[in-house]
Structure 1
């Protein structure tokens, strides 16, 4: 009997499958969005692409992407991402977020956790949760008075009920920004972990503290996550261990290693930059708290104006007038060998996934917006459109000049391959690919059976694939310029190329929803 005819075969690439250990030249056949053959001989196919000299690997799975617009996800696709999930902050209502994304279409696969902070804002401050709510509810309501503080037993019960309902709607777990509400109760966090254990889903925590000064150190924040996992049996995931641990990474890593040896389910992630990004109203960025991070106001860049914040007075002013405004936090100096060593040690912690913490694009400095080709965008009356500093970016491709975001939003995976693999030799190519694809899939697959088909180059796996040149792949985004990565020749989502010969395709939106409990 003749072999079935594949829709597409990729031939000549060095195929790396992190799970099986395959590392050799193979032909990969794709039919109906799935991998149907991986072998030395190419099967018959309707279309054949010669990708000799390239690496073919599983598409990257980003556990931590706040850039959930079509434009934000296209930047990530050009960085090799085939699945981008909003798990740390999460959303509410979850069903509404899925419905909106499915109706609009997405270039890569998508999914959401249930948002603890949104639930708290609703219960404690009366913020409405409506079906078409935007994904920036958290930033919009930073200044409300009650959501950061302790809650009564009754209100905690209401918060947990909202989260349980969201998991029932397909949420991939519970996102817990406890670092933004450090005065919330420890008992509430422990009860939340118990809920996650009963529901069989992970939690994704921004730890309570970022500091090397007692009390309330980064180590204490990490130990709270570990204790909740040990005490409830929940799978607790610690977000961006690089930026929350900072100069206590050795102590945090030691605690995580020991907990794992003891059978405690704790997973971690990191991104390869010495600066973070958040909202300027974050509790840990209060002027009186900055010394605990080992920084001052000058280490903060306020994105709506592009200014380095001059002093405590200016910081307090911005926190009061624009608490949801974006800010870049330079917590480590990559030009300082000691700080660089701290950042690199984040990636020596075993089984730490690469995740971006990608941020939305915003306008900087009230600059005029222009269309592709440089033509000014105008309002209906003919006046030029000028986005106020900090305004949400128009969801158009390519991104308009004058927009800014943290470079991790566009370049984390290319930077990993360039910097951590090619230049620093800190990770092997295979290990970097494992941490970018298979490991994130494994972190989720206990609650999300569909993830068992991702992160692999195997027959039956989803055809979410990247093809790239390991010698030239690189990032181009900076803290002042939004720019896509290069070197990713093809990026396929469910067998559909969203990047073909290095060029983004804007005519396809093959991303599929990823939900808990579904196969």
Structure 2
């Protein structure tokens, strides 16, 4: 038979972790048709001599559900070889909406948002998760209280219904964010059990990533164990110098749970800075009721002093104000301080970092994104090398240019692992790194036709130069694409050819298996 495409002369790394081998790959339609010595007669032959041929990379932790409709070309992802994004992480999703809900929740249900993604014709595949924070806002609001029996039942019903929608693969929590941080064990276990019954993965941005990291891991594992859920611990890390090294205990807890039969894994990005909302660094009581309530408290002098004092008490313990840098905020008084730390802003204004943080929040309606330099390289390597940890970006940016100084993880996560930690430092083997980017994340979301190079699998394929693959995005100049990816196929559609976008977009909503 004649094939549509034959990729010849390349070194195949198939995603299983098995040793690389020289082989040709043939594609027909949206499937891999054959792998072997060839020849495979084809309409188009692509010479991959000197290159690695691998499954398209799967980013298990993305926030691109808030950017994919506006920029479906997804250049930042294709430049790294990423062909699938799993969105809806950290308890945040664009559905379900509510009249008094949070910004970004525009669709009443997963069906509506999935239809919008399909209509946008994304260049990459997209998996959806229902976010607990968004769900809680829709049903309860931003109040610090447990749900009533009726509200809990309503949330469970929405989870069950969402699981039937195309593309939905998981349920997520973000337990440092409003209003997820108000949820207690019984609520979480009930909702996660509903998700597990519906076949969904449970992914969590845990309640603490600083001095109480081990307790947060224990809570996540206990929740999954009680609920009978598959657990994904998101972006595992320890923030603050006095907490460095505690990731080893977190990994031990994960290993012990796996021995007991709990299906738990984690993911990590290869950087020593995180990125989040500045408001997440405030005391729980200060954000009760959401950002509007926070702004009212900041307008009251006595309450503001209390908020500042509690924030200040964390400095030197689990927050370093020198490392908290403004990444993005709406236009306004402090826009010129993008790229500056809280300490620098305070010094420039003749105040301290705590008051500077509250000044920025008050002036920009509480909507302030930060990059937080607070992690250890040794910790990151410990997590990265664990066999049950996937590579994931926690990124959101799909466009190659834009405002602000977003975290470089959107632009460079996968290329950075392959360039720095595989080729240059040999922290990982190429085979294991690619397994962490392909078959391991695919197994977490029960997508059985992606993540491997094998006959009958979806033709998501990346061809990259192992000698030149590298991330170029930096914290000071983040808007730069990765280098070294030469060709990308998404569902058999040539999306990148010779390092250039073809203009074709072949992405789809994911389909998960029932078991």
Q: Indicate the TM-score class for this superposition, using the shorter chain for normalisation.
A: 0.7 to 0.9
Aligned position for 2:228 = 233
Tell me the SS of whatever aligns to 1:112.
Answer: strand
Structure 1 residues 455, 23: closer, same or farther in 2, change over 3 A? Answer: same
Gaps of 5+ in 2: 96-108, 284-306, 329-337, 344-352
Aligned position for 2:401 = 399
Q: Is the 8 A contact 1:359 1:405 kept in 2?
A: no
Tell me the SS of whatever aligns to 1:303.
Answer: strand
Aligned position for 1:326 = 369
Aligned position for 1:428 = 429
How many Å separate the matches in 2 of 1:284 and 1:14? 50
Aligned position for 1:281 = 279
Tell me the SS of whatever aligns to 1:473.
Answer: coil
Aligned position for 1:103 = 119
How many Å separate the matches in 1 of 2:61 and 2:430? 22
How many Å separate the matches in 1 of 2:449 and 2:159? 27
How many Å separate the matches in 1 of 2:245 and 2:150? 38
Q: Does 1:345 align with 2:340?
A: no
Structure 1 residues 281, 229: closer, same or farther in 2, change over 3 A? Answer: same
Q: Is the 8 A contact 1:182 1:283 kept in 2?
A: no
- 5 Å matches for 1:144-163? 145-146=142-143, 149-163=145-159
Alpha-carbon displacement from aligned partner over 1:49-81 (angstroms, at most 9, x marks no partner): 111010001110001111342268221111110
> Which has the higher mean CA deviation after the structures are superposed, 169-178 or 14-23?
14-23
Tell me the SS of whatever aligns to 1:282.
Answer: helix
Q: Does 1:317 align with 2:359?
A: yes
How many Å separate the matches in 2 of 1:283 and 1:149? 20
Tell me the SS of whatever aligns to 2:246.
Answer: helix
- 5 Å matches for 1:91-240? 91-92=94-95, 93-125=109-141, 145-146=142-143, 149-170=145-166, 171-180=168-177, 181-212=180-211, 217-240=212-235
Q: Is the 8 A contact 2:93 2:129 kept in 1?
A: yes
Aligned position for 2:413 = 412
How many Å separate the matches in 1 of 2:392 and 2:238? 12
Q: Does 1:248 align with 2:285?
A: no
How many Å separate the matches in 2 of 1:515 and 1:328? 34
Aligned position for 1:269 = 267
Aligned position for 1:84 = 85
Aligned position for 1:443 = 444
Tell me the SS of whatever aligns to 2:35.
Answer: strand
Query: Normalization by structure 2: what TM-score?
Result: 0.82
How many Å separate the matches in 1 of 2:174 and 2:244? 18
Tell me the SS of whatever aligns to 2:38.
Answer: coil
Alpha-carbon displacement from aligned partner over 1:310-364 (angstroms, at most 9, x marks no partner): 30011122334332322111112xxxxxx32122111132210001001347xxx
Displacement of 1:424 in angstroms is 2.1
How many Å separate the matches in 2 of 1:472 and 1:149? 53
How many Å separate the matches in 2 of 1:405 and 1:293? 25
Q: Is the 8 A contact 2:58 2:441 kept in 1?
A: yes
Tell me the SS of whatever aligns to 1:242.
Answer: coil
Displacement of 1:190 in angstroms is 1.2
Alpha-carbon displacement from aligned partner over 1:202-224 (angstroms, at most 9, x marks no partner): 11100011221xxxx01111101
Gaps of 5+ in 1: 126-144, 333-338, 362-396, 446-450
How many Å separate the matches in 1 of 2:382 and 2:63? 25
Q: Is the 8 A contact 1:246 1:331 kept in 2?
A: no
Aligned position for 1:128 = none
How many Å separate the matches in 1 of 2:467 and 2:494? 22
Displacement of 1:247 in angstroms is 4.0
> Which has the higher mean CA deviation after the structures are superposed, 16-25 or 472-481?
16-25
How many Å separate the matches in 2 of 1:299 and 1:284? 16
Tell me the SS of whatever aligns to 1:497.
Answer: strand
Please point out which of 28, 31, 35 is paired with 2:25: 28
> Which has the higher mean CA deviation after the structures are superposed, 253-262 or 190-199?
190-199
Displacement of 1:28 in angstroms is 0.5
Between the two proteins, the alignment pairs up a number of residues equal to 444
Q: Is the 8 A contact 2:19 2:431 kept in 1?
A: no
Aligned position for 2:298 = none
